[in-house]
Each structure stands twice: as structure tokens, then as C-alpha cells.
Copies of this chain bind each other. A is one copy, B any other.
Amino acid sequence: MPRPKTHDEALRLRLLDRAGELLSREGATALSLRKLAADAGTSTTAVYSLFGGKPALVRELYVEAFRRLGGRLRAVAPTDDPAEDLIRLGLAYRESALADPHLYGVMFGGAVPGFEPDEAATAQSRAALAPLLEVIATGTRAGVFTDHDGTMAMGCWGIVHGLVSLELCGNLPPEIDVPTTYERALRANTAGWTRVR
């Protein structure tokens, strides 16, 4: 009779853990199946039985990365000042990206050549931004924001992602003070969405 699935969760978790560590430490190009398998004490075939290939394994890292980002954003407790909450969300976003730049590259940079997120994965990525949508919704209800059908959320996500991405790629001039400039840019963008100043 057909033997049921083994559900080797231990090896699966160890592979994911090692893959994440290898990615964070040596970058996306150093994340090879042979090195990963040797690190986890198994063979490359295990990745194919447990995940289905390298892109599928990276997909797990992808959703885990957004789960972690969502956790960091949810940790920003809302106050009764939505504009300030928005700034703190932006700062938390940057801290999350800087905590693991290579993982951020997997999320947005397309660091692993064969991997393209499917619709379910990108939907989960948007779900990580729930705290942002919530702050904007309350601020709009309170009359301090002038949102327009979720346009403000896209703008805010765009500026934080853009600045973080430029910083990680090394495109910003080296003489500027990134943290203060980053916060000033966030405040200006937020001011553009507030009703009266």
C-alpha cells in the first residue's frame, strides 16, 4: 500500500534556517544548493523532494521575510497622532531592511535569478503593509490626511522603499547623513498628504 507522506519537518526547517543564514551572511550568489545541502548535512535532492527546486525554496524565504517585516511594522503601536505614527512606521521599515539587506534584496531586488514571486506570494507581501493602511485610514477618518483611494499608501510605500533601495545599492552620495535626511524626506512627504499645516 502507498506509504503516506513522511512530513520530515525537521530537515525542512533546518534547510530553511541554513538557507536564510547563508543568504544573510554571504549574499544571494553564495546561496547554492550544494553548499546549502552540505551545510544542512543532506543532499541537493532533499531540496527537490521538500520544496520542488531552488525557486520554491527562495519563495519560502520571501514570504518569511515579509512576515518578519509585517511583524516589525505591527510592533509600532499607534498613538493619537497619525502623522507621527506614519513617520515611525517609515523608520521601522528602514530598520527592518538594514537588519538583513540580502533578505531585502530577495524581497524586491530580484537577487535570485530563477525566482519570480507568484500572485499568492505578492498578495502576502502586500498584507505585511496592513499597519500602514490602518494608520492612513484612521488619519483620513480624523480629517488630517487627504487620501484618495489608497493613493497615499502607495506613495508612502514608494518613498520608503525607494530611499532604502537607493541606500542599499550605494547610489546615495556618501557624504550625506542618511538617517536625518531619510526622516526629513518622510516628513515632507507626509506633509504633502496632510490637510492643513
Contacts and interface: CB of A to CB of B under 8 A. Distances in A.
A110 interface: yes
Contacts of A108: 109, 165-166, 169, 171
A163 interface: yes
A52 interface: no
A43 B151 CA distance: 51
Interface string A96-126: 0000000001001111011001000010011
Interface residues of A, number: 46
A155 interface: yes
B113 A170 contact: no
A151 B181 contact: yes
Interface of A: 28-29, 105, 108-111, 113-114, 117, 122, 125-126, 148-152, 154-155, 157-163, 165-166, 169-173, 176, 181, 184-185, 187-193, 197
